Each structure stands twice: as structure tokens, then as C-alpha cells.
Amino acid sequence: MKKNEVPQDDSPLKRKNINEMVYAVDDDGKFVSVQSTGWEAKTVVQHENLEVLDQRIQQALNDVKAGNVSPIVYFMELNRMDWQTLAAYVGKWTFFVKRHGKPNVFKNLNTKTLQKYADVFGISLNDLQNLKG
Amino acid sequence: MQADFQHKQAAHCENGAIVNLLGDKGFKISEPMAFGLGSGLFFVYLPFLKINHAPGISYRPMPGKIFNRMAKRLGIKVQRFKFSDPKKAQQKLDENLSKNIPTGLVVGVYNLPYFPDEYRFHFNAHNIVVFGKKNGNYLISDSVMDYTVSLNEDELEKVRYAKGALAPKGHLYYPVSVPDAMDLTNPIKKAIKQTCNDMLAPVPLVGVKAIRWVAKDILKWHKKLGVAKTNYNLANMIRMQEEIGTGGGGFRFIYAAFLQEAGEYLKNQELLNLSQEMALIGDKWRDFALEASRVVKKRSNTENVYQVLSNDLMKLADMEEAFFKKLKKAV
């Protein structure tokens, strides 16, 4: 990539006034660092990525409403977590956390456990228990 | 309580933290040189390890490796600490800052408030340098940004105690002693040899063999998992390749810059030629990323597009194999 080929496209970084730095070749064949506002190819895959995550959140919400999963699954997706990450945050084994994703298990969880989940998700106990969507 | 600290931007966070920490100690080194001496160029494919619901692909060695290798080769002493207690982690950091020691931290990206939403995911191996504290706010040099930022105590604790894969556990590091001007001949040669050995390793999980494995799996994803999932995996791969903190195409350019600097230092014409060749390979990686992003966007359904991507990746593996064989002989 030549210095004048460094992409200066619109990007999420640009909207935060961040430039990223890349290395490119100048006219004399020397490598120099150049600032870039972003690259369209990258922005495209980032948006694709977020779209898939949004679909997962929507799907989780539908599943909660249909009574297939507990609100924990919805908030897990909302926080872009997977089971392992969530388990690490609440300090429990993945096996148990997955069980808490079942509505009939969730229903019988004690306040202490629920509070843990609520803290991790940064919401109140009430928000966690009364997710109506 | 603010060190006389110079924030220099970098293409990759770990290199940047190294350059900024050492620079503060009076040891001047360029980002490409730090990256090259740490044997930062790498490729690993972990199909059974799911990260963000996609198979694990990394273009760099384990976090911390780059700095550790480079420090060892140059005789730089680095102190590292982890803390089970967040209070102690903060105490140690405050103590360092009161002694004017800029300190490197490993943090999770997800809760960094100054990052755009598109960059926030559970990735726990980002490097930042804290260089001061003002009115209870920590002054942060995040080398992928062109300006410095600040975080309050709660925000900093949150990112230092991010959980999940590679949880940083308050990981903190700083160089304690740096050598005076030294001869880089041997460290450069050793570092280049290691990168060649990594990339040519005779195991399927790393180096060019792993690139070939991914190339084959792209076709498998399409057959078994369908278009949507394949595109998602590809999108993730490109993010790993081109996003800050990771680097694929970008890494090739940093490495090319390193080879140029090394070639000039060792007066080795072959390295200078190879540096230009590496830049061309970097261009091919970028072409691959561009092509993949087009596939992701169009959601094209023909088998052909994945075959093309797979072939491109195979070609990249061939080019890199030939390249690193030549490079190995050049030093």
C-alpha cells in the first residue's frame, strides 16, 4: 500500500474523531506511518457483525416472551456475552448458568443469585425479573 | 502527579505500550523494531475455540508475548503483577504513579467508554499505559488513539477486572531497567528466525499450515453451516485481521517496515528486498479482506465466491511459505 492509497473512508472511528495509524510506503520506497480515518471494508464487516448481534438479541427477546428461555439469556445477548463470559462474570460454572437460562429454574432462584446477575448486567432486580419486552 | 510522558500513537496496542514505556525510560525504539524484535507476526487457528460465536483466529501471539520476547532479547527487565484483590491493584498503580512510573495495564475492551460501539466486545487483551492521576482521574495513553484520554477509578477498575477468556486480573507491568545503547545484530537475527520458525511450523494449528486450514474450512462452513453463518465467520476473521489491537494485513506492513529498518541496520540488501516483498503480501491480505467484505455485504449465494476466497487464501499461504523460507536464509 502506497502512502497516497491509505484509505480515508467514513468509519465508526471517524465519528469519535479518532484516527488510526497504519504503515505505508512513500515515493522513495520508505515505510512511514500514516493516519487513516478508516476503511470501508472494515466498516462493512463491523456492521454485519452488529447486525447479527442485534438479530440474536431480538431472537432472545422473542424466546423470553414465548417462555422458552429466562431473561438471563436476553440480557446476556444484550451485553454481547456468551455463556462462558457470563459464567465468569457471575463467578459460577457454565453448567449452572445455562440452567438459570431455563424459565422454570430461573423462577425459583433466590434473591442473592438474581442480584448477582442484575449487578453484572447493570440493571435492577426488578428489571431482571419483569422483562416484558 | 503527572509524569513528563510522551504519547506516541501506534498501529498496534502492545507495540505502542512498549514504545511509550521504554521511551519514557530514555530507550528510543520504533514501533516496527519493537514488533519485529518481539516476533509479533503470527497466525493461529483454533476452530474448536469459539470467540464471539465464531472460530478463534488470531494474527498475533498470546498477549504479552511480544513485549516479553523483545525484553528478553534486549536485556530489559520488566516487572509484572496480577492481583486477586482490585483494591491492591489500584494501590500498586497509585504507588507507581506517585513515583512517576508510567505503568502498562492489560484491560478488557468492552467497557472502555472512549471506544466506538462497533469496537466494544469481550476482548481482554488490550494494552494501555497510565501516566498520571489528576483529580481522581487516571490519565491514559491508549496507543491506538491519536490523543490521550482519562478514566475515573470505577471505570478503570471495571476494565482491569474484565472477566472471561484471558481475564487480565489487574495485570500491570513496567520496565525497571533498560540497557544503554546496544548492538541489535543478534537480537534481530534471533527474532527473525523465530518468526520464520513460527510461520513454517510443522503443525496444522499455526503459521502457513493454519492459513491453509482456514482456506479449506471456508468451503466447509458454506456447505455445512450455510451462507449466513459463513458470512458471520468471515466477518469475524476480517475483524481479527484489520481491526485495532489485532492486525493481519496491517501487521504485514509493520513487519515490512521492521525488515527495512533491520536491513539498513545490518547492511543486508536481501532484507531490504524482502521488506518490499512483504509489503506486496500485505496488499494481497488487504485484497482478501476487501473481497470478503464484498461477499459479506452482497450475501451472494453462489458456491463460487467462497471458492474464490478459499483460493485467494491458499495463494497467500503459498506466498508466505516461500517468503519465510527465503527470509530464513537471509539472516
Q: How far apart are CA A16 and CA B12, in angstroms?
A: 19
The reported pLDDT for the residue numbered A48 is: 87
The reported pLDDT for the residue numbered B1 is: 44
Question: Is domain B13-37+77-177 classified as CATH 3.90.70.10?
Answer: yes
Q: SS in 3 state form for B63-109? A: CCHHHHHHHHHHCCEEEEECCCCHHHHHHHHHHHHHCCCCEEEEECC
Sequence length of chain B is: 331
Residues A54 and A110 in one domain: yes
Q: What is the pLDDT of residues B256-307, one digit of tens each?
A: 999 999 999 999 999 999 999 999 999 999 999 989 988 988 766 666 899 9
- H/E stretch holding B32 reads helix B31-37
The reported pLDDT for the residue numbered A41 is: 87
Residues A26 and A48 in one domain: no
In this predicted complex, what is the ipTM? 0.90
Residues A77 and A53 in one domain: yes
Sequence length of chain A is: 133
Residues A79 and A24 in one domain: no
Q: Using an 8 Å Cβ cutoff, are B55 and B46 in contact? A: yes
Which of the residues in chain B have pLDDT under 70? 1-3, 244-248, 299-303
User: What's the total number of domains in chain A?
Assistant: 2
Q: Report chain A residues whose CB lies below 8 A from the CB of B296.
A: 44-45, 48
The reported pLDDT for the residue numbered A16 is: 87
Which residue is listed with cell 530464513? Answer: B328
Residues A31 and A46 in one domain: no
Residues A29 and A89 in one domain: no
Residues A32 and A46 in one domain: no
Mean pLDDT for chain B? 91
CATH of the domain at A96: 1.10.260.40
Q: Which three cell numbers stand for residue B41?
A: 507476526
Residues A59 and A99 in one domain: yes
Amino acid (one-letter) located at B259? L
The reported pLDDT for the residue numbered B123 is: 87
Which residue does chain A place closest to B253, by CA atoms? A23
Which residue is listed with cell 519514557? Answer: B24
Cβ-defined contact of B253 to A31 (cutoff 8 Å): yes
Cβ-defined contact of A18 to B145 (cutoff 8 Å): yes
Which residue among B10, B228, B236 sits closest to A21, beta carbon to beta carbon? Answer: B10
Query: Which residues constitute the domain of residue A87?
Result: 42-129
Residue intervals of chain B classified under CATH 3.90.70.10 are: 13-37+77-177
Residues A32 and A60 in one domain: no
**Three-state secondary-structure class, residue B121:** coil
Q: Which three cell numbers stand for residue B130?
A: 497510565
Number of H helices, E strands in chain A: 8, 2
Q: What is the pLDDT of residues B36-57, one digit of tens each?
A: 999 999 999 999 888 778 898 8
CA distance B257 to chain A (A): 5
Is pLDDT at A88 greater than 80 in this prediction?
Answer: yes
When pLDDT is cut at 50, 70 and 90, the band that residue A118 belongs to is very high
Cβ-defined contact of B52 to A82 (cutoff 8 Å): yes
Residues A13 and A60 in one domain: no
The reported pLDDT for the residue numbered A100 is: 97
Q: Report chain B residues whose CB lies below 8 A from the CB of A31.
A: 32, 253, 256-257, 260, 275, 279
Which residue is listed with cell 500491570? Answer: B172
